[in-house]
Amino acid sequence: MRLRNTAGWLAWIAVLCALSAALAYQMLAAEDRSLFLPGETTSGHHQIELACDACHVDAFGGGEVMQDACVDCHGDELERADDSHPRSKFTDPRNADRLARLDARWCVTCHVEHQPERTREMAVTVPADVCFHCHEDIAEDRPSHEGMGFETCASAGCHNFHDNRALYEDFLLAHAGDETPTRRLNPHRTPEKTAEGHAPALLPADADAGGVRADPAILDAWASTAHAGAGVNCTDCHGQGARWTDEPELEACSDCHEGETEGFLKGKHGMRLDAGLSPMTPARARLTMKSEAAGRSLDCASCHGAHEFDTRRAAVDGCLGCHDDQHSRAFKGSPHHELWVAEQAGRAPENSGVTCATCHMPRQVHRRGGEALTRVQHNQNANLRPNEKMIRPVCMSCHTLAFSIDALADPELIRNNFSAEPARHVRSIEMAVAREEDATRPTQGNDPRQGEQQR
């Protein structure tokens, strides 16, 4: 009997050890850790939800650990923001009463993962009318807000909690009378760096393919690119001798395109690689994607090609080869697309076309030393959510502030890729102008409200 009991215990121990080993492997070595997810992750983080340690850097840390994880990824963005609710406002002892209502010192006060039942757009988990807690008397200072519901504060064209660069009052006033600006999209690109020690303008016969018998079509494609023009040869990307590889890693691109690579790794296309996971594929996306592209691994060559590096193809076909949501499908035939077609056909000036990349990967001018460099921002998150972030760097390159606000506040217009006029009008600019006029108008009589407005 004792032997039977001992055998039973040993069997249980063996089973427990096997289960423990399986769970340990699943947690520490396997990429698929979905077994441990306590709930669905938000659209901003679902690509890296299996890289648990990207956020949970210390299993025994408190709120400050999660805060550090948030700032580690989003700190630069918050630094650039014109933030009307900076952390310093809530650490100021004079605002202790506000801190009691909304402890905005911590990102996770509003942004909580794994709770889809209470999560709204932008991973916000606080009530839609949260502004009420601090601004319940707003109509006393701004009569234009009388009767407005507090759930409308964060509507497009009004207020953002963090970044109001395109919506703060001074900016609205400065652009109140704007006419359509001169187009300034797509400045000519200045290469950030070229390979050193190479003669320029290489020809197919100059290819140093490292002993590999290269396809003549590949060599012709390479010779037509800016790479060959700048003296970048086969071995600069593929490696030399025993280090030759048919499929270069991301580092082969980042050696010369450091800024673009940095943006790529922060954006939705590359953030899995940055977290140490396998590449993103359309099959993992939450937007509608084309079924034939489902298993395509996303890296630099996915959009630019392996040897052509055609930025024109990348700007439209590289996107539409995967994306199949209504907004993407509506691009072809839209006014923006017609501008692009006209440019390609020579019927419109160079750099006058509007592509997917024009809006979602805008070209930005940076200064290094005394030299101005133009490079493409490959981080789509930089100007995508909330969509008002696109107003200054993108929309106002061609449109007035008033039109831009109205267009981005119209969900149906966005779905149809701006193929019509905005169906609604946001009165943000008019309200700012009226407030300015009230503030400068001489006080008449003894109306206390008028006196308060003047002050």
Which of 245 and 17 is assigned the larger pLDDT? 245
Other CB atoms within 10 A of residue 62 CB:
8
Q: How far is CA 297 from CA 257, 294, 407, in A?
A: 20, 9, 34
pLDDT in tens, 43-76: 999 999 988 888 888 876 777 888 999 999 998 8
Give the C-alpha separation, 21 to 255, whole Å. Answer: 40
205 by Cβ neighbours in 10 Å (0-12 / 13-18 / 19+) ranks as: exposed
In this structure, of 23-37, 55-69, 95-109, 201-215, the range with the lowest mean pLDDT score is 23-37
Which structure tokens are listed for 276?
Answer: 């140490």
pLDDT in tens, 438-453: 888 876 554 544 433 3
The pTM of the full predicted model, rounded to 2 decimals, is 0.84
pLDDT in tens, 351-394: 889 999 999 999 888 777 778 888 899 998 888 888 888 999 89
Give the C-alpha separation, 215 to 176, whole Å. Answer: 58
Give the C-alpha separation, 50 to 32, whole Å. Answer: 6
**Rounded mean pLDDT, 94-110:** 88
- Partner residues linked to 367 by β-bridges: 372
Token pair 């592509």: residue: 355
Q: What percent of the chain has pLDDT over 90?
A: 46
Q: Which of 393, 361, 359 is nearest to 377 (CA)?
A: 361
Say whether pLDDT at 325 is over 80.
Answer: yes
